[in-house]
Amino acid sequence: ADGLCQRLFAPCKPKAFQQPWAQDEWEIPRDTLKMVKKLGAGQFGEVWMGYYKNTQKVAIKTLKEGTMEPAAFLEEANLMKQLQHERLVRLHAVVTKEPILIVTEFMVNGSLLDFLKSDAGKKLKVNKLIDMAAQIAEGMAYIEVKNYIHRDLRAANILVSETLHCKIADFGLARIIESEYTAQEGAKFPIKWTAPEAINFGTFSIKSDVWSFGILLTEIVTFGRIPYPGMTNPEVIRNLERLYRMPRPEGCPAELYEVMMTCWKEKPEERPTFEFLQNILNDFFIATEGQYEMQP
């Protein structure tokens, strides 16, 4: 097959060309955006597919009025704008008057959580799943180097492109949605993804993100199962106080479970860096001597 692993039978579909975003278009007027299709709704607002100036396809996140202070939001958005990496969802522009709108690049396959539960997602082999985990670790390693924190790392906040590349979304938003992080009531606080020191003392750091990444690994390997199945949030908190850890999920390679367990070390400083996690996951199949090689 001319040196290829596999003969190519059809040409690749050409990728639709996305025009680069003009740098100065940052705070934009609301009427330059057209909402086309609602993609989802959460407790703080909705996500829409839409168009900017009728030409550029974008994702538009709407925030309910009163969710955050516009001034605090703009300050954070200016920071978020500076975080640019191929593994992070690109923040294009904002509408800073309430209701606040956040305009980002559009990702065809939606959230990783929804994708893992889809027919296409369920067909993914373990090596592709670990490749996706490595991509997320790469994006988080960039956030780590920039001394930033995500604070809400989970499969619902990872987006998947047409070519199955993962990008991290919603970094930094969690901090300014104060209600989510001061009130620990109900679904507002993602207890099952949150490190013990963040639950107990509100201490968020890149190391609490590492804990969340370990939980995210369980979501990936179980195709989107909710962590700690069958447990309520109060039960999870009580069990964590007794140093309980989630058992190895079915179908999870033992070596990957070891990675999860290092993410869940009780002392934050004993958890690995994202750079280390990225390297481990990138080399996963070399290190485990090909026992998970794709079957012909």
Other CB atoms closer than 10 Å to residue 153's CB: what's the count? 29
Catalytic site residue from 114, 152, 209, 283: 152
In whole angstroms, what is the distance from residue 14 CA to residue 12 CA? Answer: 6
Other CB atoms closer than 10 Å to residue 185's CB: what's the count? 9
Residue 95: closest CA among 32, 38, 175, 176: 32
152 noted as active-site residue: yes
Tell whether 2 is in a known binding site. Answer: no
Tell whether 61 is in a known binding site. Answer: yes
Tell whether 127 is in a known binding site. Answer: no
CB 82 within 8 A of CB 88: no
**Contacts of the segment 40-44: beta carbons below 8 A, 24+ positions apart:** 40/110, 40/111, 43/187, 43/188, 44/177, 44/180
Annotated binding site: 61, 157, 170
Annotated binding site for ATP: 61
Annotated binding site for Mg(2+): 157, 170
Q: Would you name the residues annotated as active-site residues?
A: 152
